[in-house]
Amino acid sequence: MEQFFDIGQSRSLPWERRTEAGRLLQELKNPQRSWDGLVVGEATRCWYSNQFSLTWPKFHRYGVALWIPSLGGQFDPENTVHDMAMTITGGLSKSERQYVQRRVRAAMAAQVVMDGRYQDGRAPYGYVVVDAGPHPNPRKAQEGYRLRVLAVDEEAAAVVERIFELYRGGLGLKSIAETLNVEGVPCPSAHTPQQNRHRRGDGW
């Protein structure tokens, strides 16, 4: 008996781009495989959007049956109810993922606004990342994680204010960039080269 479990990979990825699902598709073509059926643990985690309609023909072609608990047994392509149920399953999977995404993004935004918590990535120009003590999550604090928050970078903040002044004065983006270059103001990649190694830092 073989098992195929994709851990830590988004269900929105096509099967061909998932590690274990891709291996399963390759095994379908192997005439020496020791199995002729697949039991699906949770269909909404397995298929996303229209993925079932794209993968089922491959199972059918190689004579592999699909046993799906949510259907109560083996998938029957001639059963209209089964076909409709799997179409709905893909839609529910997509809806669930989008709902989770919205909740996570809202929670992250609230942490930034209410707690000033930094969510990783490059700090926006005008800010620096500073240590704010142990992580508020006790488990993460025990593992050594620290709370990181954004603080104003006084030097860059003055440049941001200058940019807004120029904009209010009627200058466009190109004119503002030219003005800052003439004044010798370091551009973001020159101001913080350690987080902009992919840029030359030769001007705005």
Residues 53 and 122 grouped into a single domain: no
Residues 147 and 158 grouped into a single domain: no
Q: Return the closest-CA partner of residue 67 out of 37, 26, 107.
A: 37
Residues 100 and 164 grouped into a single domain: no
**DSSP output for 46-76:** H--TTHHHHHHHHHHHTT-EEEEGGGTEE--
Asked if 75 and 82 touch (Cβ cutoff 8 Å), the reply is yes
Looking at residue 137, what is its pLDDT? 81
Residues 165 and 123 grouped into a single domain: no
**What is the average pLDDT across 171-177?**
94
Q: Return the closest-CA partner of residue 128 out of 158, 159, 157, 151.
A: 151
Looking at residue 116, what is its pLDDT? 65
Looking at residue 89, what is its pLDDT? 93
Looking at residue 153, what is its pLDDT? 93
3-state secondary structure of 37: strand
Asked if 187 and 204 touch (Cβ cutoff 8 Å), the reply is yes
Residues 25 and 55 grouped into a single domain: yes
The CA distance from 64 to 59, in Å, is 5
Looking at residue 110, what is its pLDDT? 80
Asked if 92 and 44 touch (Cβ cutoff 8 Å), the reply is yes
Q: Does residue 23 belong to any structural domain of this protein?
A: yes
Last residue in a domain, options 107, 136, 168: 107
Looking at residue 115, what is its pLDDT? 66
Q: How many CB atoms lie within 10 A of CB 56?
A: 17
Domain of residue 129, residue span? 116-152
Domain count, the chain: 3
**What is the average pLDDT across 106-132?**
79
Residues 87 and 75 grouped into a single domain: yes
**What is the average pLDDT across 14-29?**
94
- Asked whether the predicted pLDDT for residue 100 surpasses 80, the reply is yes
Q: Tokens 């990535």 appear where?
A: 121
Averaged confidence pLDDT in the chain: 90
Q: Does residue 135 belong to any structural domain of this protein?
A: yes
Residues 38 and 99 grouped into a single domain: yes
Please tell me the least confidently modeled range out of 35-49, 60-74, 130-144: 130-144
- Asked whether the predicted pLDDT for residue 20 surpasses 70, the reply is yes
Asked if 4 and 20 touch (Cβ cutoff 8 Å), the reply is yes
Residues 158 and 145 grouped into a single domain: no
Residues 26 and 102 grouped into a single domain: yes
- Asked whether the predicted pLDDT for residue 157 surpasses 90, the reply is yes
The CA distance from 111 to 186, in Å, is 31
Q: Return the closest-CA partner of residue 125 out of 191, 78, 65, 66.
A: 191
Looking at residue 149, what is its pLDDT? 84
Q: Does residue 28 belong to any structural domain of this protein?
A: yes
Q: Does residue 3 belong to any structural domain of this protein?
A: no
At 13, the pLDDT band (50, 70, 90 cuts) reads very high
Residues 92 and 145 grouped into a single domain: no
Residues 144 and 80 grouped into a single domain: no
The full 3-state SS of 99-142, as one line of letters, equals: HHHHHHHHHHHHHHHHHCECCCCCCCCCEEEEEEEECCCHHHHH
Residues 31 and 87 grouped into a single domain: yes
Which residues have a Cβ under 8 Å from the Cβ of 127 and sit 6 or more positions away? Answer: 150, 151, 152, 153, 156
